């Protein structure tokens, strides 16, 4: 009770923040947007723009910093986090979330994993990204916003939406197993128990590497933040104790005569692909092959999902909203090039952004607090009446955004190499949000939503994880463009198609 009372006082402080002098300048909240802390930064931003009814805010301006502003804001967020605690590991909080039907039903241990896991890891390292089995994935990572950071996934009140429950994120969470939390890593762990990189718990920022691991997603991030997050991710991977990147890769791909000079009295030639190795005069050939196999790089799978904040807070504060599509093309292209040039042996999932005009305006039966939050604080561009005259233009922008992602990913820059590939996963392309039947028809199924009715609950994350996995196992050109009920079907590798189809 004491924690809740203090949290209420903090919220009152936040609501009254526009009366504090040091928070008044536009450059202050624009700079704060650079921290990519969506639940507060956009809240502040809208509060301050309320006083400027018709004045357009330039989304691109950053302005000068104000140290006091950042210090106060950071202090508030840290205080909220310390008061609320780690909801994703609190037995009491999790039980309450379960009573609210926000969590998936646990799968009993007598129920087997839906897919066979025998022979799903190659006996020898694959020679190309087209020959990768699910068990060959050694490392997972992710880039994105609060929907990837899993803000509020196990929340039981709106204050807990500040907490990123990264351990249950559909794209990168690895807390517990698929029986408790269905996530992409928890599925992959069934094929490769030695998988690393997944998040294990809660945090405010991705900077808490102990729990976030290789989840570089930041709440409030936009497309413009992709490259910065990518550089941060690459630095983490290069410094991860369980991943050996450049040293081993360069050693195995130079094709020089000195590659195995350390092995006395023997000769060898190392070819310029992943595992084509010609060995002669080895008395212990199998032992050497094992050494070489282990020297190859870890095989990575990176998932990218970005754009909701551009749609909700970017479009309507631009003189020319259409510009964000071309900017996203540039940001995504730069990101994929950076990943390709720094992380060989990588498969990148680019999850196509959802057209929010098919989702948010159709929400019905929302609690009062959600209705109050939506207009000014969660997604004003799509639900605020001030922008009703731009509805059709915004729908067009979101559709173009989806198409430009497909075009960038299908570029020859990312489709011609044996050691790197990017794949569009389109399960959200035509997705609609689940509904539940009531006496007067149907309304939004709130079980899949967090307490702000914008982020996903853990049940929503399970639904997204199921859909992402099925997309991964579907061939390009034949992928599902919507999501089905979680656990309804989990697509599996087969004897005829044991590989992850990427081309």
Reduce the secondary structure of 7-41 to three states and give it as a string: HHHHHHHHHCHHHCHHHCCHHHHHHHHCCCCHHHH
Task: Identify the sign of the CA torsion 248, 252, 255, 261.
Answer: positive
Domains of the chain (ranges, CATH numbers): 2-84 (no CATH), 124-244+297-472 (3.40.50.1110), 246-295 (no CATH)
Average pLDDT over residues 38-57: 42
Q: What is the DSSP code (8-state) at residue 301?
A: E
CA–CA gap between residue 232 and residue 214 (Å, rounded): 9
Average pLDDT over residues 356-366: 91
Question: Whole-model pTM?
Answer: 0.80
pLDDT of residue 378: 82
CA–CA gap between residue 324 and residue 462 (Å, rounded): 30
Q: H helices of 298-445, where?
A: 308-309, 323-342, 368-373, 380-383, 391-409
pLDDT at 96 over 80: yes
| 3-state secondary structure (DSSP) of residue 262 | coil
Confidence label for 426 from pLDDT (cuts 50, 70 and 90)? very high
Confidence label for 74 from pLDDT (cuts 50, 70 and 90)? low
pLDDT of residue 436: 94
pLDDT at 249 over 80: no
Q: Where are the strands (E) in 67-183, listed by range?
A: 139-144
């Amino acid at each position: 009770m004491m924690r809740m009372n203090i949290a209420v006082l903090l919220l009152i402080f936040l609501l009254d923040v526009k009366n504090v002098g040091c928070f008044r300048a536009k450059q202050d909240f624009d700079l704060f947007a650079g921290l990519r802390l969506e639940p507060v930064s956009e809240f502040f931003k809208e509060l301050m723009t309320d006083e400027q009814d018709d004045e357009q805010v330039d989304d691109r301006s950053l302005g000068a910093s104000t140290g006091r502003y950042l210090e106060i804001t950071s202090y508030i967020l840290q205080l909220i986090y310390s008061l609320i605690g780690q909801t994703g590991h609190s037995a009491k909080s999790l039980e309450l979330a379960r009573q609210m039907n926000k969590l998936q039903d646990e799968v009993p241990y007598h129920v087997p994993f839906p897919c066979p896991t025998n022979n799903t890891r190659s006996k020898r390292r694959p020679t190309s990204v087209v020959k990768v089995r699910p068990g060959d994935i050694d490392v997972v990572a992710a880039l994105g916003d609060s929907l990837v950071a899993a803000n509020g996934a196990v929340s039981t009140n709106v204050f807990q939406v500040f907490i990123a429950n990264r351990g249950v994120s559909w794209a990168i969470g690895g807390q517990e197993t698929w029986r408790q939390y269905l996530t992409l890593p928890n599925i992959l762990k069934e094929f490769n128990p030695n998988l690393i990189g997944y998040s294990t718990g809660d945090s405010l920022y991705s900077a808490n590497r102990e729990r976030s691991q290789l989840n570089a997603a930041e709440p409030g991030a936009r497309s413009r933040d992709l490259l910065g997050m990518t550089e941060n991710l690459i630095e983490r991977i290069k410094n991860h104790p369980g991943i050996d990147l450049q040293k081993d890769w360069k050693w195995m791909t130079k094709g020089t005569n000195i590659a195995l000079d350390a092995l006395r009295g023997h000769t060898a030639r190392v070819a310029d692909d992943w595992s084509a190795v010609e060995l002669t005069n080895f008395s212990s050939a199998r032992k050497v092959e094992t050494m070489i196999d282990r020297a190859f790089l870890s095989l990575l799978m990176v998932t990218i999902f970005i754009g909701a904040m551009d749609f909700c807070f970017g479009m309507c504060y631009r003189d020319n909203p259409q510009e964000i599509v071309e900017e996203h093309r540039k940001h995504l292209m730069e990101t994929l090039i950076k990943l390709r040039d720094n992380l060989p042996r990588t498969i990148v999932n680019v999850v196509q952004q959802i057209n929010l005009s098919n989702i948010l305006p159709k929400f019905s039966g929302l609690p009062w607090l959600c209705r109050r939050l939506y207009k000014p604080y969660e997604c004003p561009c799509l639900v605020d009446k001030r922008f009703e005259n731009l509805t059709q233009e915004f729908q067009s922008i979101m559709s173009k955004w989806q198409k430009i992602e497909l075009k960038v990913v299908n570029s020859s820059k990312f489709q011609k190499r044996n050691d790197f590939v990017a794949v569009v996963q389109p399960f959200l392309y035509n997705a609609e949000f689940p509904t539940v039947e009531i006496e007067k028809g149907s309304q939004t199924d709130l079980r899949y939503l967090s307490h702000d009715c914008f982020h996903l609950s853990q049940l929503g994350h399970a639904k997204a994880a199921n859909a992402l996995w099925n997309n991964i196992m579907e061939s390009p050109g034949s992928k599902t463009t919507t999501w089905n009920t979680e656990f309804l079907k989990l697509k599996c590798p087969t004897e005829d198609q044991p590989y992850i189809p990427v081309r």
